[in-house]
Amino acid sequence: EVQSFSNETSVEVTKWFNTYNPQQPFFKHFDDPNQYAASQKDGVDKSNHNNNVEVNFPELDNVMDWENFDVFLLHEKTNGKSLSTLAVHLFHHFNLFKDLDLDEDKVTRFWVQIEGGYQNVPYHNSIHAADVLRSLAYFLNIHFVKNTFTPLEICASLVAAGIHDHDHPGVNNAHLIRIRHELALRYNDKSVL
């Protein structure tokens, strides 16, 4: 019964990734993609965010080496695309494109879109997301963990790690409530971020 659920869910995930449309709004705070884009004028520089993500960087050779992987160097070498580059690399590493029958171009566009939604703030930025993604992948790669999780569970875990601070303004809930930010008002001071 659990296997049946997992197979049905895998089909749904595959359909979702393969029908992904970056123009379709999926952001929590905005119903209109143009409103979202306008909100980013002071955020991440999108000029280097396109759908061409190169995953052949020597820095990725030691991604599973806890002591010698440098996310800041990867960010520099990828011209600010550490999150999308690392995510696509990890989808290959865990064989998710094949196991879940995912379209690599659409998954890549998804990650580029996610990376573009991270704001240029000191901590809750795309470098932090790449670091969290890599840390999770390190633990998922441990033999007994890797053999316990299904490809769908690995995919879900990687996506969750990569998007966990998407569009984070770099301040906490209390600050947004105190300044009566539109997000605090919209969400009635509850789970603002």
Active-site amino acid positions:
124
Q: List the one residue out of 46, 61, 9, 29 whose CA is nearest residue 167.
A: 29
Instruction: Give the ranges where the chain is alpha helix by DSSP (H).
Output: 2-18, 33-39, 71-77, 82-93, 96-99, 104-116, 126-140, 143-146, 151-163, 173-178, 182-186
Measured between alpha carbons, how far is 36 from 39 in angstroms, rounded to an integer? Answer: 5
